[in-house]
């Protein structure tokens, strides 16, 4: 059992434990192993650090919440293609759906061992709301780019915010929303520029009234990210003093994701 008091070593140990839970010998033969979002893991760990829960429950809440996140992320990877006659594409799609369902089932199993029905309800409610938000964001009309961003922020941060509310540690919620939105936009922009499919940018391209063509979309996302930095920095500085480790982590993450990226792009 990890003694939770957030540090780099604790986060690495938690990542190893989560990876061991989701590793399936059949699935890894055909689809990539899931990515564990370290920033979300760090935020969850910081939340749990400052509760009076037992070490067992703290670790279990972190692992089960991350399993839910991995399940949601995995289902997002399911591609929609006209090439349904390609057996490899069909099998990959089917296995990705299966993997997402498998990861979902794991967290129910782990929480059932704790006999923790309220936490199950909290996570299940968050899953339902996130899936509804995704349907609205990607398949229904939104009136403005700002409305689109607000929907995306909720999708990225709602799970963590619901867990924070459940353990009555909501001071972290604003920072989590601002950071996870910025990070998601940066990741999707980078993926699109590298020639990979981006569901987010694809959704914006299909709504030219919001931002125009793909080139204008990328410019607008970059401008939004630049203006977003001040608000993000403010939410970090406003965190209570006992979140000092998290503050240091977030400042380093911002420097790595944004300043390092600028240097690389200018070079």
pTM for this predicted structure: 0.83
Q: What is the pLDDT of residue 4?
A: 47
CA 129 vs CA 21, 57, 69, 156, 231: distances in Å: 25, 24, 13, 12, 26
pLDDT-derived band at 211 (thresholds 50, 70, 90) equals: confident
Q: What is the pLDDT of residue 200?
A: 84
Q: What is the pLDDT of residue 82?
A: 45
Structure tokens at 107: 């967290």
CA 242 vs CA 48, 89, 246: distances in Å: 12, 49, 9
pLDDT tens per residue across span 186-205:
988 888 888 887 878 888 88
Q: What percent of the chain has pLDDT over 90?
A: 30
Residue with structure tokens 């009076």?
Answer: 52
Average the pLDDT over 88-93 and give the result: 57
Cα dihedral angle (252, 254, 257, 260), rounded to 10 degrees? Answer: -70
pLDDT tens per residue across span 43-65:
999 999 989 999 988 998 999 89
pLDDT-derived band at 80 (thresholds 50, 70, 90) equals: very low
Assess whether pLDDT exceeds 60 at residue 210.
Answer: yes
Q: What is the pLDDT of residue 146?
A: 87
pLDDT tens per residue across span 104-148:
677 777 767 767 888 888 988 998 899 899 888 887 778 888 888
Q: What is the pLDDT of residue 138?
A: 81
Q: Report the alpha-carbon distance of residue 89 to residue 133 in Å, rounded.
A: 27
pLDDT tens per residue across span 216-262:
888 888 888 888 888 898 999 999 998 998 999 998 888 887 765 55
Instruction: Map out the domains of the chain as residue ranges.
Output: 1-266
Average the pLDDT over 27-49 and give the result: 83
Name the CATH superfamily housing domain 1-266.
Farnesyl Diphosphate Synthase (1.10.600.10)
Q: Report the alpha-carbon distance of residue 119 to residue 128 in Å, rounded.
A: 14
Structure tokens at 144: 């403005």
- DSSP string computed for the chain: ----S--HHHHHHHHHHHHHHH--TTGGGTSPPPPP-HHHHHHHHHHHHTS---HHHHHHHHHHHHHHHHHHHHHHT----S-TT-HHHHHHHHHHHHHHHHHHHHHHHHHHHHT-HHHHHHHHHHHHHHHHHHHHHHHS--S-HHHHHHHHHHHHHHHHHHHHHHTT-GGGHHHHHHHHHHHHHHHHHHHHHTT---HHHHHHHT-HHHH-SHHHHHHHHHHHHHHHHHHHHHHHHTS-GGGHHHHHHHHHHHIIIIIHHHHHHH-
Q: Report the alpha-carbon distance of residue 123 to residue 137 in Å, rounded.
A: 21
């Amino acid at each position: 059992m990890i003694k939770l008091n957030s540090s780099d070593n604790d986060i690495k140990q938690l990542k190893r434990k989560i990876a061991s839970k989701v590793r399936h010998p059949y699935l890894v033969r055909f689809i990539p192993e899931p990515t564990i979002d370290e920033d979300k893991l760090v935020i969850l760990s910081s939340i749990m650090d400052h509760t009076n829960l037992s070490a067992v429950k703290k670790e279990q809440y972190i692992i089960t919440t991350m399993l839910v996140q991995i399940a949601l992320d995995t289902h997002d990877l399911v591609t929609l293609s006209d090439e349904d006659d390609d057996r490899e594409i069909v099998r990959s799609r089917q296995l990705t759906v299966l993997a997402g369902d498998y990861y979902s089932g794991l967290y129910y199993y782990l929480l059932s061992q704790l006999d923790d029905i309220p936490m199950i309800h909290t996570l299940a409610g968050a899953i339902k709301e996130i899936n509804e938000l995704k349907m609205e964001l990607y398949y229904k009309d939104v009136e403005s780019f700002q409305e689109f961003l607000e929907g995306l922020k909720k999708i990225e941060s709602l799970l963590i915010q619901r867990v924070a509310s459940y353990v009555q540690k909501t001071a972290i919620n604003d920072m989590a929303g601002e950071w996870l939105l910025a990070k998601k936009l940066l990741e999707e922009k980078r993926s699109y520029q590298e020639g990979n499919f981006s569901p987010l940018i694809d959704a914006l391209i299909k709504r030219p009234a919001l931002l125009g063509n793909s080139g204008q979309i990328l410019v607008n996302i970059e401008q939004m990210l630049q203006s977003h930095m001040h608000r993000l920095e403010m939410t970090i500085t406003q965190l209570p003093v006992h979140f000092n480790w998290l503050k240091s982590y977030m400042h380093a993450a911002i420097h790595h994701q944004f300043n390092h990226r600028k240097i690389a792009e200018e070079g």
